[in-house]
Amino acid sequence: MAELKLETAPVDRRVPTQNQAKACYMYYNSWHQCKYDFSDEEPQCKKLRQWAHSMCPMEWLERWEAQRENGTYAGPVPGETKGKSAPPAH
């Protein structure tokens, strides 16, 4: 994987500056959605990845990545149809 240049994410008025946990979670999930929709090489996906790595403690990122690999991540998973039944087969 290419070297990651960390940058501070832009100010987001939806998230108070004293606690960035919500922003961390939002950027992390947005990064994975972007990868699903486009690719990890898409410039906006790279930016979201940088922001997630800059906002989130490494321990959280490592835990969430392990949970994604194990299928136990509690957050949104791009492409997953949680709670939806498959369409009937014809």
Confidence of residue 11 (pLDDT cuts 50, 70, 90): confident
What does the block give as tokens for 67? 């949970």
Question: Could you give the CA distance from residue 32 to residue 17 in angstroms, rounded to a whole number?
Answer: 23
Question: Is residue 46's pLDDT more than 60?
Answer: yes
Per-residue pLDDT tens over the stretch 21-42: 888 999 999 999 999 999 999 9
3-state helix, strand, coil in the chain (%, to 5): 50, 0, 50
- Please answer whether residues 48 and 27 qualify as being in contact, where contact means their C-beta atoms are separated by less than 8 angstroms: yes
Question: Could you tell me which residues come within 8 angstroms of residue 69 by beta carbon, excluding any fewer than 6 positions away?
Answer: none
**How many other C-beta atoms are found inside a 10 Å radius of the C-beta of residue 20?**
17
